[in-house]
């Protein structure tokens, strides 16, 4: 069938179509060129017949890029469109030139039987000529791409991970790391926005916090599934440790995202019921929020940059936040006894402290994962014990943070 289609068409346009269709079916221009070279051994394929087929093969190979672009973002689709446009325009121009030369000059070479080497040279020459032709016209290809795939308001497709990369585990793992870093940055940014809403509620920030929380849930789902698939591949011990730590980390970032929404709901409850904390309570809450802002920033920096020094600063601050929570709870009890705070506001106060403190716990978990990866230690409890009991650095930072975020119970 391949032989008949390749040698049947004398019309150049039909030759282009034959080359494009068959190459599109097998999705490999190299294989298609190989078939054409094999057929040239019969002596039935002239250069006049081979050249249009070679041009069509370059169009047919675009099928792979087009199929791969489905389900991707707009820029990926545009890249596929540029690839297709490049080959279609190049074929249209050089097929016209080829046909004019063939009709006017009738070179004897065109009627000569094509050889293995001649087909390879013709294929390379065509691509070189297309590049020379279209390199100065790259702006035109860009315009075509944006015309076919225009900008829109909703260019936010949910990120997916490419299963085809699983055959190269290091590349697949790097893809996961990048996505976890993106998840981390989005989560921390949204949490800080929820902290802002506690002091001054903003509808736009609230909507963004919920959007990020939904995206974070999606990240956790696809990353968990993908990393589990990656574990089934033949990966090194080092990569296996990294996969295990990433699985822990994505769970912690997802929980931080959940807590950001919980904080938002507390702020909305107070707004709806027109509740306000007393001036001392507002000041204490501001101190707690500042401590959370710092621990989130340190944790994000430690994880994204794989910074051991930053990671070591998280646990001392987390311990101070635990102390701060206890002091703020005691202060609330005193205010409640003195009639300075209502019972209803007290419930919201308790929820806020719980969500803030638990978020710092997740920061501690993430920092421990960073330290574990540096020390090749998978025992998180042992790592925490070592940080707290055997480190002068921990004691020094603890005292610094305790002084910085102190309140009087």
Residues in contact with 401: Cβ distance below 8 Å, sequence separation at least 6, in sequence order:
291, 316, 317, 320
pLDDT of residue 14: 86
Distance CA 197, CA 264 (A): 7
Torsion of CA 91, 93, 94, 95, to 10 degrees: 70
Q: According to the model, what pLDDT value does residue 407 have?
A: 77
User: Does any domain span residue 386?
Assistant: yes
Q: How far apart are CA 317 and CA 170, in angstroms?
A: 34
In the prediction, which pLDDT does 153 show? Answer: 52
Where does a domain end: 205, 239, 272?
Answer: 272
Classify each residue of 375-387 as buried b or exposed e, where b means 16 or more C-beta atoms within 10 Å of its C-beta. eeeeebeebbeeb
**Residue 158, pLDDT score:** 53
Q: Domain for residue 261, yes or no?
A: yes
**Do 404 and 291 share a domain, yes or no?**
yes
How far is it, in rounded angstroms, from Cα 142 to Cα 136? 12
Q: Which pLDDT tens digits describe the chain residue by residue (409 residues)?
A: 445 555 555 688 888 998 898 889 888 888 888 888 888 888 878 899 889 999 999 999 999 888 877 766 788 889 999 999 999 999 999 999 999 999 998 899 988 999 999 999 999 999 999 999 999 999 999 999 999 999 865 544 555 688 878 888 999 999 999 999 999 999 999 999 999 999 999 999 999 999 999 999 999 999 999 999 999 998 999 999 999 999 999 999 999 999 999 999 999 999 999 998 999 999 999 999 999 999 999 999 999 999 999 999 999 999 999 999 999 999 999 998 988 888 888 999 999 999 999 999 999 999 999 988 887 665 555 656 666 666 788 889 999 999 999 876 5
Q: Are 161 and 175 in contact (CB under 8 A)?
A: yes
What pLDDT is attached to residue 44? 79
284 with 352, same domain: the answer is: yes
What b/e sequence results for 90-110 when a residue is b if at least 16 CB atoms lie within 10 Å of its CB, and e otherwise?
Answer: bbeebbeebbeebeeeeeeeb
Chain-centre distance for alpha carbon 244: 19
**Residues 217, 105: one domain?**
no
Please check whether residues 112 and 59 belong to one and the same domain. Answer: yes
pLDDT of residue 375: 74
Residue span of the structural domain in which 334 resides:
275-409
Q: Which value, to the nearest 10 degrees, does the dihedral of the CA atoms of residues 372, 378, 381, 387 take?
A: -20
**What's the predicted TM-score (pTM) here?**
0.67
**Do the domain assignments include residue 153?**
no
Of 280, 282, 279, 270, the closest CA to residue 345 belongs to 270
pLDDT at position 6:
53
Q: Taking Cα atoms as reference points, which of 344, 204, 354 lies closest to residue 196?
A: 204
Together in a domain, 376 and 292: yes
For position 209, which CATH number holds?
A: 1.20.58.220
Q: How many residues does the chain have?
A: 409
Rounded distance between C-alpha atoms, residue 347 and residue 333, angstroms: 12
For residue 21, being part of any structural domain is answered with yes
How far from each other are the two terminal CA atoms of the chain, in whole angstroms?
Answer: 87
Considering the domain architecture, whether residues 303 and 326 belong to the same structural domain is answered as yes
| Same domain flag for 184 and 198 | yes
Task: Give buried/exposed letters for 192-229 (b at 16+ CB in 10 A, else e).
Answer: bbbbbbbeeeeeebbebbbebbebbeebbebbeebbee
Residue 36 lies in a domain: yes
Alpha-helix runs per DSSP H in 273-379: 279-304, 308-337, 343-375
Q: Closest by alpha carbon to 360, among 198, 188, 179?
A: 188
In a domain, 244, yes or no: yes
Domain boundary pick from 211, 241, 272? 272
How far, in Å, are 98, 99, 101, 110 from residue 106 at the CA level? 10, 10, 7, 7
Give the pLDDT of residue 401. 95
Query: For residue 235, what are the contacts with CB-CB under 8 A and spacing of at least 6?
Result: 169, 173, 243
202 phi, psi to nearest 5 deg: -140, 125
- Which residue, 247, 272, 297, sits at the end of a domain? 272
Domain match, 232 and 174 both: yes
């Amino acid at each position: 069938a391949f032989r008949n289609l390749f040698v049947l068409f004398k019309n150049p346009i039909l030759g282009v179509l034959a080359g494009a269709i068959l190459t599109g079916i097998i999705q490999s221009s190299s294989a298609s060129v190989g078939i054409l070279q094999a057929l040239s051994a019969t002596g039935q394929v002239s250069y006049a017949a081979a050249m249009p087929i070679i041009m069509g093969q370059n169009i047919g190979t675009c099928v792979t890029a087009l199929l791969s672009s489905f389900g991707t973002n707009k820029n990926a689709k545009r890249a596929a469109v540029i690839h297709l446009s490049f080959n279609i325009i190049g074929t249209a121009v050089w097929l016209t030139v080829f046909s004019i030369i063939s009709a006017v000059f009738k070179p004897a070479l065109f009627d000569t039987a094509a050889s293995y080497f001649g087909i390879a040279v013709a294929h390379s020459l065509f691509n070189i000529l297309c590049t020379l032709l279209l390199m100065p016209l790259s702006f035109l290809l860009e315009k075509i791409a944006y015309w076919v795939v225009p900008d829109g308001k909703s260019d936010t497709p949910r990120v997916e991970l490419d299963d085809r990369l699983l055959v190269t585990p290091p590349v697949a793992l790097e893809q996961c790391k990048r996505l976890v870093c993106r998840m981390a940055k989005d989560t921390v940014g949204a949490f800080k926005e929820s902290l802002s809403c506690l002091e001054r509620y903003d509808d736009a920030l609230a909507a963004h916090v919920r959007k990020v929380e939904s995206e974070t849930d999606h990240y956790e789902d696809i990353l968990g599934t993908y990393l589990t698939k990656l574990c089934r591949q033949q990966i090194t011990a080092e990569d296996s440790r990294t996969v295990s730590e990433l699985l822990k980390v994505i769970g912690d970032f997802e929980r931080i995202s959940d807590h950001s929404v919980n904080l938002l709901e507390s702020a909305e409850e107070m707004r709806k019921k027109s509740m306000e904390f007393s001036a001392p309570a507002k000041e204490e809450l501001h101190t707690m929020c500042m401590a959370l802002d710092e621990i989130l920033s340190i944790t994000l920096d430690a994880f994204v940059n794989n910074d051991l020094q930053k990671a070591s600063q998280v646990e001392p601050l987390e311990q101070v936040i635990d102390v701060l929570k206890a002091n703020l709870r005691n202060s609330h009890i005193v205010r409640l006894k003195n009639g300075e705070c209502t019972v209803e506001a007290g419930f919201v106060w308790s929820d806020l402290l719980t969500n803030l403190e638990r978020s710092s716990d997740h920061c501690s978990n993430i920092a421990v994962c960073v330290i574990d990866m540096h020390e090749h230690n998978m025992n998180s409890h042992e790592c925490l014990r070592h940080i707290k009991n055997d480190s002068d650095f921990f004691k020094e930072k603890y005292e610094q943070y305790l002084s910085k975020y102190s309140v009087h119970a």
